[in-house]
């Protein structure tokens, strides 16, 4: 066994090594012999390979008689193809010979896995039909290195270096580009962020791709500009990892367990909605570890929804009370608000440009239909109408007489009481100095009028908010008409209060 070595034997930057398993093989043809220094070569992809042979000639023949020499791996039309003319080796093949022409060299640079083949040396002499080939040749195996990962337990992993041939001298390992030890496998801790590679002894620049756990993932958003409701939006999770990482997307829902959304690198919203706003993050994981991205906020812009109106207090509205109407709508960016009152015209009356419409002392005149609008740069919406119905006690009632207050006996007379009240008032009729009512209802009719019916009458209007009495009205049969006026007695929850009046002749 022999080893042909170019470069340093120990791992070092820039070193280059090809390991050769060398068994002398002699081919003899009419006294000619080709002796290859090795029969099998294991080389790292991208390295440089040297293959050497020695030539022995029969007596009476000189090396100067050899007119052509070359190396080949394949034939065309039954004739060997010189590697120097093969396009697959263009610019990568060099021939060399010793000064006495007894030794021959083949150098192949930047070897590829497709270069794996059997290489033979061929020469011809000046004599007709003298052609010689050293056979069998040298088998070149070009290997790429690959690190496989196997989990041993929850704490440890095993890295194994794989190649297409077994190199002489074994495999070497590097951690973060520094030599650490020799061996076909290497134990490492789970979750390690270090980078591990294997290589052939001396072929420092021809290492396997490094294996390492994921770095912290980054998240990109497309499009990155303002997101409008209904747009198509894509979130992409990416990290540097080998083996390639698997990705998982989550949304933070305010619970201890975020909601799992997807197990793809991209999270796609074909028509994003306001409900999609929130905090998102992704994880990247391979056999060596797992890392989580920072949170990313998704803020979807949208126009106002139809506003809702709330009333406080929500109970019965009493005249003089404090009442607040509040307009609210879901919108992003936040909406501005405007209040209107329907006045029975085509253009409602603008009242306020605030979210709240406040009545510090609401009056009966404030009753009516109100609406509000919510608006931002993406749209404008109007609420449904809300009816404000202010409750108040009766105003002083008025009494009308038909046909007149001058009566003849036997005639009929109708007294009508009316007032403004909310809710509508109930009416009761009284005759002066009598405790018991004469009638109830808005209209009081006396038929077949007699002298006993003559006197002062008044009506009382009442609802749950209060009561109020009209002035006295004289009804007589004297043929003359008199009017009596009394000072206002406004009964508010006090119906027994004394009524006083004065008489004025007309």
**Poorest-confidence range of 64-68, 90-94, 489-493?**
489-493
Burial of 161 (0-12, 13-18, 19+ CB in 10 A): buried
CB atoms within 10 A of CB 181: 10
- CATH entry 2.60.40.2470 includes domain 19-142: no
In percent, how much of the chain has pLDDT > 70? 84
Is the pLDDT higher at 211 or at 209? 211
Residues in Cβ contact with 78 at an 8 Å cutoff, skipping those fewer than 6 apart = none
Phi, psi (deg, nearest 5) at residue 53 = -140, 160
Six-digit token string for 231: 């747009």
Six-digit token string for 192: 């390690």
Running DSSP on this structure, what letter comes out for residue 327?
E
The answer to whether the CB of 466 falls within 8 A of the CB of 393 is: yes
Question: Shortest CA distance to 384 belongs to which of 376, 396, 374, 372?
Answer: 372
Given a cut of 90, is residue 217 above it in pLDDT?
Answer: yes
Q: Give the H/E segment covering residue 443.
A: strand 443-446
- pLDDT for 278-324, tens place per residue? 999 999 999 888 999 999 999 999 999 999 999 998 767 899 999 99
- If you average pLDDT over residues 113-142, what whole number do you get? 86
Total residues found in the chain within this entry: 506
Domain boundaries defined on the chain: 19-142, 144-200, 228-301, 308-391, 398-504
Given a cut of 90, is residue 376 above it in pLDDT?
Answer: yes
Coil, strand or helix: which one is 114? helix
- pLDDT for 39-76, tens place per residue? 888 887 777 888 999 888 777 666 677 778 899 999 99
Residue with tokens 């006996």: 409
- pTM strictly above 0.85: no
Q: CATH code for 398-504?
A: 2.60.40.10
The answer to whether the CB of 172 falls within 8 A of the CB of 182 is: yes
Mean pLDDT, the chain, rounded, equals: 82
- pLDDT at 129 (0 to 100): 66
Is the pLDDT higher at 95 or at 256? 95
- pLDDT for 346-367, tens place per residue? 789 999 999 999 999 999 999 9
- pLDDT for 177-208, tens place per residue? 888 888 778 898 887 788 998 877 656 556 77
Distance CA 152, CA 193 (A): 18
- pLDDT at 102 (0 to 100): 83
Distance CA 373, CA 327 (A): 8
Pairing of strands 323-328, 356-359: antiparallel
Is the pLDDT higher at 449 or at 225? 449
Six-digit token string for 78: 């039954």
pLDDT-based confidence at residue 239 (cuts at 50, 70, 90) = very high
For the 308-391 domain, the top CATH level (class) is mainly beta
Question: Shortest CA distance to 145 belongs to which of 166, 165, 162, 160?
Answer: 162
- pLDDT at 310 (0 to 100): 94
* 3.40.605.10, 1.10.10.10, 2.30.31.20, 2.60.40.10: CATH of 228-301: 2.60.40.10
Domains 19-142 and 398-504 fall in the same CATH topology: yes
Given a cut of 60, is residue 488 above it in pLDDT?
Answer: no
The answer to whether the CB of 199 falls within 8 A of the CB of 174 is: yes
The answer to whether the CB of 10 falls within 8 A of the CB of 172 is: no
Q: Give the H/E segment covering residue 266.
A: strand 266-269
Distance CA 214, CA 193 (A): 7
The answer to whether the CB of 82 falls within 8 A of the CB of 69 is: no
Residues forming beta bridges with residue 480, ordered by sequence position: none
- CATH entry 2.60.40.10 includes domain 144-200: yes
The answer to whether the CB of 121 falls within 8 A of the CB of 71 is: yes
Coil, strand or helix: which one is 34? strand
Residues forming beta bridges with residue 168, ordered by sequence position: none
pLDDT-based confidence at residue 6 (cuts at 50, 70, 90) = very low
Task: Categorise residue 188: left if φ over 0, alpha if ψ from -120 to 50, beta otherwise.
Answer: beta
Running DSSP on this structure, what letter comes out for residue 282?
E
Residues in Cβ contact with 394 at an 8 Å cutoff, skipping those fewer than 6 apart = 419, 420, 421, 425, 461, 462, 463, 465, 466, 467, 468
Distance CA 201, CA 213 (A): 26
- pLDDT at 185 (0 to 100): 85
Residue with tokens 């990247």: 284
Given a cut of 90, is residue 459 above it in pLDDT?
Answer: yes
Rg of the chain (C-alpha set): 55
- If you average pLDDT over residues 90-110, what whole number do you get? 89
Question: Shortest CA distance to 133 belongs to which of 149, 118, 152?
Answer: 118
CB atoms within 10 A of CB 323: 19
């Amino acid at each position: 066994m022999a080893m042909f070595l170019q470069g340093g034997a120990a791992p070092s930057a820039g070193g280059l090594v090809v390991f050769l398993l060398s068994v002398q093989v002699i081919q003899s043809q009419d006294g000619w012999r080709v002796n290859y220094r090795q029969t099998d070569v294991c080389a790292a992809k991208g390295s440089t390979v040297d293959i050497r042979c020695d030539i022995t000639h029969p007596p009476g023949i000189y090396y100067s008689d050899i007119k052509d020499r070359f190396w080949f791996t394949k034939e065309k039309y039954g004739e060997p193809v010189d590697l120097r003319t093969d396009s697959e080796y263009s610019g990568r093949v060099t021939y060399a010979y010793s000064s006495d022409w007894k030794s021959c060299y083949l150098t192949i640079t930047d070897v590829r896995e497709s270069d794996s083949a059997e290489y033979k040396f061929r020469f011809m002499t000046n004599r007709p039909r003298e052609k010689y080939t050293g056979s069998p040749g040298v088998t070149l195996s070009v290997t790429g290195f690959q690190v496989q990962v196997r989990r041993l337990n929850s704490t440890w992993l095993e890295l194994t270096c794989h190649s297409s041939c077994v190199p002489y001298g074994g495999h070497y390992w590097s951690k973060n580009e520094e030599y650490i030890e020799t061996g076909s496998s290497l134990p490492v801790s789970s979750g390690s962020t270090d980078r591990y590679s294997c290589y052939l002894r001396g072929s420092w620049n021809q290492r396997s791709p490094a294996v390492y756990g994921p770095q912290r993932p980054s998240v990109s958003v497309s499009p990155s500009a303002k997101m409008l409701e209904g747009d198509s939006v894509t979130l992409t999770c990416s990290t540097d990892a080998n083996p390639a990482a698997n990705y998982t997307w989550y949304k933070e829902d305010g619970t201890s367990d975020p909601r799992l959304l997807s197990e793809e690198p991209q999270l796609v919203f074909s028509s994003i909605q306001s409900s999609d706003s929130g905090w998102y993050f992704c994880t990247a994981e391979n056999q060596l570890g797992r890392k989580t991205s920072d949170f990313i906020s998704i803020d979807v812009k949208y126009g106002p929804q139809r506003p809702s109106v709330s009333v406080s207090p929500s109970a019965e509205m009493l005249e003089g009370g404090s009442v607040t109407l509040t307009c609210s709508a879901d919108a992003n960016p936040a909406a501005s608000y405007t209040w209107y009152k329907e006045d029975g015209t085509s253009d409602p009356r603008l009242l306020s440009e605030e979210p709240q419409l406040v009545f510090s002392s609401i009056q009966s005149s404030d009753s009516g239909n109100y609406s509000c609008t919510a608006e931002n740069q993406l749209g404008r919406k109007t609420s449904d109408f809300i009816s404000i119905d202010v409750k108040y006690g009766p105003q002083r009632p008025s009494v009308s007489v038909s046909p007149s207050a001058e009566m003849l006996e036997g005639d009929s007379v109708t007294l009508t009481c009316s007032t403004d009240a909310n809710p509508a008032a109930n009416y009761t009729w009284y005759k002066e100095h009598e405790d018991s009512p004469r009638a109830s209802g808005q209209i009081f009719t006396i038929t077949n009028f007699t002298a006993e019916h003559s006197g002062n009458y008044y009506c009382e209007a009442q609802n749950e908010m209060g009561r109020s009495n009209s002035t006295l009205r004289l009804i007589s049969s004297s043929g003359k008409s008199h009017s009596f006026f009394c000072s206002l007695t406004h009964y508010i929850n006090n119906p027994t209060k004394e009524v006083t009046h004065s008489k004025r002749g007309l």
